[in-house]
């Protein structure tokens, strides 16, 4: 087992080395977008204001825009490496600080949604796999299809229409009540109430995916010899299901969450827009309206970097969870 | 279409298995309905979808407006009918672009292996790490979003899945006896790739193509919902963007265009499932 730990560590190091060029690639794509975008950044900065050509030239020099592209790329990589992602003129804040602040709210939404998706999806998948061909199984297939096909931002609007507008049970906007000053537990509960609808809207697609994969892997696991053996030993069906079958359901959940992380982030952007949730998605939407390019690029960069890190973690978790994975 | 799809001369067999797949037939029905709507929109739409009127925010069932009107008095039913055009055109053209790129890249990577494969695999990985929606959003925001650009952006961002599958198939087939035979006969590589191997990997490609159309329709709607897209087009996503500000007054502005997107995406997803059932008869899904 000691050697197993060692190989795992070597595998982790290898994967980390693979992640580095990927991150550099993300930075380069980002730079190319800036460099190729139409419009002169200095002209945008100056706006309508008439400026003497000497001043324009000085600005170009100051921002390094007079340098050849490879030099500008090197400068850009150097800046990003130091955590300098530029400055948002709309918010008058450094982009990195702005994005990190919003990422916290996005992660809260994503974590809640994914937890919900995992719990409901595994439950539905297991229930469907217990009686293949039953009404419940058919219902879970229907849910899966709906999950693939319904846009999450439209589901978000439907939830607002039903639970906020028609029934008035839950808030439709924001992360906390504007009129009340809550502290401590009451404040947390208030955020929780605001979290329910966006998290439901965001979780649906992944719940469907997880249910479908759980059903398939449960059916496969339950047809194995060790299940027959467990039943032959007279183990109660519930224990067979949980101890022997469900263990195998952990992998699809990790897979879905890990390899769809980029999509969950994108979905979050859309859902946040519907609910006015102050996360990265909402920031993205506002940045587009305000043509705040540094913020747009900063978001793309940080979000992609997050996906690289999460994929890395998932691969490692996978290696730990599934002894069959060779590394 | 079906005849070209099946491996070898099994086209009719492929079609028979497809017809036996209930999701496939339902999906095909929805896709045909979508195409018919797109073609017939000018004939069946009660109004010009761009035409504003003084009848604003009319509820469904109002005289002349079966699905109601929006904040500018535009007819929702006409918008939903005309919106099928943008969805279908962007969906099909973007998927075709993605499949073309994916097949060529995947085939070259799988056939040659080595550094070509390594390089293409890294590029594929890069495209998987950058969230497609965010990148598409950025490109459209920076470069503008006419219909052609929209198709190009969505297509260019959607090829990795097809590339991965085609690459895998080529890796498995490049050592096959008939490929060796073709080499011995002195056929050129392009001939071997496109005439000898490619026809044998088309079945999974057709499945992915159908799913890609669904994905492209969803992505186009998402961009429209963010207010990006071709402003001159009637698009379901843009209608939902417009509906967002009037959720409290006019549920119909959100419900009908959203339903249309869902049905269109469902149609191509089901079609993909059916094609998959037909292509892999051993898998009892």
Secondary structure of chain A as H, E, C letters: CHHHHHHHHHHHHHHHHHHHHHHHHHHHHHHHHHHHCCCCHHHHHHCCCCCCHHHHHHHHHHCCCCCCHHHHHHHHHHHHHCCCCCEECCCCEEHHHHHHHHHHHHHHHHHHHHHHHHHHHHHHHHHHHHCCCCHHHHHHHHHHHHHHHCCHHHHHHHHHHHHHHHCCCCCCCCCCCCCCCCCHHHHHHHHHHHHHHHHHHHHHHHHHHHHHHHHHHHHHHHCCHHHHHHHHCCCCHHHHHHHHHHHHHHHHHHHHHHHCHHHHHHHHHHHHHHHCCCCHHHHHHHHHHCCCHHHHHHHHHHHHHHHHHHHHHHHHHHHHHCCCCCC
Whether residues A38 and B142 touch (CB distance < 8 A) is answered with: yes
Residue A2's pLDDT is what?
42
Residues A44 and A131 both lie in one domain: no
Residue A197, both tokens: 């609808």
Distance from CA of B112 to the nearest CA of A (A): 22
Residue A48's pLDDT is what?
65
Residues A280 and A322 both lie in one domain: yes
Whether residues B142 and A33 touch (CB distance < 8 A) is answered with: yes
Question: Which of A19-23, A157-161, A219-223, A279-283 is most confident?
Answer: A157-161
Residues A139 and A282 both lie in one domain: yes
Return the ∠ at Cα A76 (arms to A75 and A80), rounded to 5°. Answer: 120
> Which one of A26, A157, A297 has the shortest CB-CB distance to B244?
A157
The reply to whether A106 falls in a domain is: yes
Instruction: Report the distance separating Cα B153 and Cα A39, nearest Å.
Output: 19
Residue B26's pLDDT is what?
94
> Which one of B23, B214, B240 has the shortest CB-CB distance to A153?
B240
Residue B1's pLDDT is what?
38
**At a CB cut-off of 8 Å and minimum separation 6, what does B17 contact?**
B277, B278, B281
pLDDT at position B284 over 60: no
Residues A6 and A109 both lie in one domain: yes
Residues A147 and A236 both lie in one domain: yes
Whether residues A288 and B269 touch (CB distance < 8 A) is answered with: no
Instruction: Report the distance separating Cα B77 and Cα A39, nearest Å.
Output: 39
pLDDT at position A274 over 90: yes
pLDDT at position B139 over 60: yes
pLDDT at position A287 over 50: yes
Residue A220's pLDDT is what?
79
> Which one of B141, B251, B263 has the shortest CB-CB distance to A161?
B251
Of chain B, the end-to-end C-alpha distance in Å amounts to: 24
- The DSSP bridge partners found for residue B69 are B75
> Which one of B134, B244, B261 has the shortest CB-CB distance to A151?
B261
Distance from CA of A296 to the nearest CA of B (A): 7
> Which one of B131, B240, B244 has the shortest CB-CB distance to A262?
B131
Residue A324's pLDDT is what?
61
Mean confidence (pLDDT) of chain A: 82
Residues A145 and A64 both lie in one domain: no
The reply to whether A32 falls in a domain is: no
The percent of residues in chain A predicted with pLDDT above 90, rounded, is 18
Mean confidence (pLDDT) of chain B: 87
Q: How confident is the model at residue B34 (pLDDT cuts 50, 70, 90)?
A: very high
The reply to whether A187 falls in a domain is: no
Residues A322 and A245 both lie in one domain: yes
Whether residues A304 and B129 touch (CB distance < 8 A) is answered with: yes
The percent of residues in chain B predicted with pLDDT above 70, rounded, is 94
pLDDT at position B77 over 50: yes
- For residues B1-17, give the mean pLDDT: 60
Distance from CA of B186 to the nearest CA of A (A): 39
pTM as predicted: 0.87
Whether residues B247 and A172 touch (CB distance < 8 A) is answered with: yes
Question: Strands A93-94 and A87-88, how do they pair?
Answer: antiparallel
Residues A16 and A57 both lie in one domain: no
Whether residues B266 and A149 touch (CB distance < 8 A) is answered with: yes
Q: What is the pLDDT of residues B197-249, one digit of tens each?
A: 888 888 889 999 999 999 999 999 999 998 887 778 899 999 999 999 999 99
> Which one of B129, B139, B254 has the shortest CB-CB distance to A161?
B254
How does DSSP classify residue B198?
A: G
Dihedral sign computed on CA atoms, order B41, B46, B48, B53: negative
Q: How confident is the model at residue A5 (pLDDT cuts 50, 70, 90)?
A: low
Chain A contact set for B212 (CB, 8 A): none
The reply to whether A300 falls in a domain is: yes
> Which one of B135, B225, B263 has the shortest CB-CB distance to A153?
B225
Instruction: Report the distance separating Cα A116 and Cα A206, nearest Å.
Output: 9
Residues A243 and A305 both lie in one domain: yes
Distance from CA of A185 to the nearest CA of B (A): 31
Residue A232, both tokens: 């032959």
pLDDT at position A112 over 90: yes
pLDDT at position A132 over 90: no
Instruction: Report the distance separating Cα A122 and Cα A212, nearest Å.
Output: 9
Whether residues A300 and B130 touch (CB distance < 8 A) is answered with: yes
Whether residues B122 and A25 touch (CB distance < 8 A) is answered with: yes
Chosen for mutation from A140, A153, A216, A289 (greatest number of chain B CBs closer than 10 Å) is A153
Q: What is the ipTM of this complex?
A: 0.88
Question: Which of A119-123, A261-265, B7-11, B79-83 is most confident?
Answer: B79-83
Residue A186's pLDDT is what?
81
Whether residues A149 and B128 touch (CB distance < 8 A) is answered with: no
- Report the CATH number that the domain containing residue A303 is assigned in CATH: 1.10.3720.10
- For residues A134-144, give the mean pLDDT: 87
CATH hierarchy code of domain B25-38+76-278 = 1.10.3720.10
- Residue in chain A closest to B251 (alpha carbons) equals A161
Instruction: Report the distance separating Cα B9 and Cα B50, nearest Å.
Output: 49
Whether residues B262 and A21 touch (CB distance < 8 A) is answered with: no
Residue A150's pLDDT is what?
95
Q: Which helix (H) or strand (E) holds B171?
A: helix B160-173
The reply to whether A191 falls in a domain is: no
Residue A6's pLDDT is what?
62
Domain count, chain A: 2
Residues A122 and A142 both lie in one domain: yes
Whether residues A300 and B262 touch (CB distance < 8 A) is answered with: no
Residue B4's pLDDT is what?
44
Q: How confident is the model at residue A201 (pLDDT cuts 50, 70, 90)?
A: very high
How does DSSP classify residue B51?
A: -
Residues A52 and A140 both lie in one domain: no
Whether residues A288 and B137 touch (CB distance < 8 A) is answered with: yes
pLDDT at position B50 over 80: yes
For chains A and B, what is the number of CB pairs under 8 angstroms? 131
Contact status, residue A98 vs residue A185, Cβ threshold 8 Å: no
The reply to whether A222 falls in a domain is: yes
Chain B contact set for A150 (CB, 8 A): 258, 262, 265
Q: Crossing angle of helices B76-112/B160-173, nearest 10°?
A: 30
Residue A325's pLDDT is what?
56
Residue A172's pLDDT is what?
83
CA distances from A172 to A26, B141, B257 (A): 35, 28, 21
Residue A40's pLDDT is what?
67
pLDDT at position B94 over 60: yes
Contact status, residue A201 vs residue A274, Cβ threshold 8 Å: yes
The reply to whether A45 falls in a domain is: yes
Residues A69 and A99 both lie in one domain: no
Nearest alpha-carbon partner for A284 in A98, A76, A28, A82: A98
- Which single residue is written with the structure tokens 């959940």? A253
Residue A114, both tokens: 């994914």
pLDDT at position B5 over 50: no
Residue B38, both tokens: 């797109």
Domain containing residue A307: 2-23+85-153+204-326
Residue A327's pLDDT is what?
46
């Amino acid at each position: 087992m000691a050697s197993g730990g060692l190989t795992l560590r070597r595998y982790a190091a290898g994967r980390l080395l693979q992640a580095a060029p990927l991150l550099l690639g993300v930075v380069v794509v980002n730079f190319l977008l800036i460099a190729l975008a139409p419009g002169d950044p200095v002209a945008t900065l100056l706006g309508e204001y008439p400026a003497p050509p000497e001043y324009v030239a000085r600005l170009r020099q100051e921002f390094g825009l007079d340098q050849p592209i490879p030099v500008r790329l090197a400068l850009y990589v150097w800046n990003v490496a130091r955590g300098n992602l530029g400055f948002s003129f709309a918010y008058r804040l450094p982009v990195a600080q702005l994005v990190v602040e919003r990422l916290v709210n996005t992660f809260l939404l994503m974590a809640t949604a994914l937890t919900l998706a995992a719990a409901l999806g595994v439950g539905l998948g297991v229930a469907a796999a217990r009686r293949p061909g039953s009404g419940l199984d058919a219902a879970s297939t229907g849910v899966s299809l709906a999950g693939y096909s319904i846009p999450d931002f439209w589901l978000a609007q439907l939830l607002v229409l039903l639970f906020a507008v028609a029934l008035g049970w839950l808030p439709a906007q924001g992360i906390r009540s504007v009129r009340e000053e809550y502290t401590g537990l009451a404040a947390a509960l208030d955020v929780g109430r605001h979290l329910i609808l966006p998290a439901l809207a965001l979780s649906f697609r992944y719940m469907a995916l997880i249910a479908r994969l759980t059903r398939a892997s449960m059916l496969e696991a339950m047809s194995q010899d060790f299940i027959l053996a467990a039943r032959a030993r007279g183990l109660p069906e519930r224990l067979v299901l949980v101890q022997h079958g469900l263990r195998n359901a952990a992998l699809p959940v990790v897979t879905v969450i890990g390899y769809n992380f980029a999509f969950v982030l994108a979905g979050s952007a859309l859902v946040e827009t519907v609910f006015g949730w102050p996360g990265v998605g909402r920031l993205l939407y506002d940045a587009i309206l305000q043509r705040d390019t540094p913020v747009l690029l900063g978001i793309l960069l940080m979000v992609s970097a997050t996906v690289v890190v999460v994929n890395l973690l998932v691969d490692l978790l996978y290696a730990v969870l599934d002894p069959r994975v060779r590394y | 279409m079906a005849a070209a799809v099946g491996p070898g001369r099994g086209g009719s067999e492929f079609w028979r298995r497809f017809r036996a797949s209930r999701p496939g037939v339902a999906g095909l029905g929805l896709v045909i309905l979508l195409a018919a709507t797109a073609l017939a929109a000018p004939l069946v739409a009660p109004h010009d979808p761009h035409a504003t009127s003084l009848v604003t925010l009319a509820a469904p069932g109002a005289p002349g407006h079966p699905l109601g009107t929006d904040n500018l008095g535009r007819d929702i039913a006409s918008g939903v009918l005309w919106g099928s055009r943008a969805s279908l055109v962007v969906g099909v053209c973007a998927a075709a672009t993605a499949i073309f790129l994916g097949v060529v890249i995947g085939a070259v990577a799988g056939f040659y292996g080595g550094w070509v494969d390594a390089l293409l695999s890294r590029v594929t990985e890069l495209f998987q790490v950058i969230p497609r929606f965010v990148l598409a959003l950025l490109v459209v925001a920076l470069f503008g979003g006419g219909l052609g650009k929209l198709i190009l952006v969505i297509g260019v961002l959607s090829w990795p899945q097809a590339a991965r599958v085609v690459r895998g198939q080529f890796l498995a087939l490049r050592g096959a006896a008939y490929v060796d035979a073709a080499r011995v006969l002195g056929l050129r590589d392009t001939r071997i790739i496109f005439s000898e191997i490619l026809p044998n990997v088309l079945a999974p490609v057709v499945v992915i193509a159908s799913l890609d159309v669904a994905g492209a329709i969803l992505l186009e709607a998402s961009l429209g919902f963010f207010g990006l897209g071709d402003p001159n087009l009637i698009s379901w996503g843009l209608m939902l963007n417009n509906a967002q500000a009037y959720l409290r007054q006019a549920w119909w502005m959100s419900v009908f265009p959203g339903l249309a997107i869902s049905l269109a995406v469902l149609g191509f997803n089901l079609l993909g499932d059916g094609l998959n059932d037909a292509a892999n008869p051993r898998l009892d899904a």
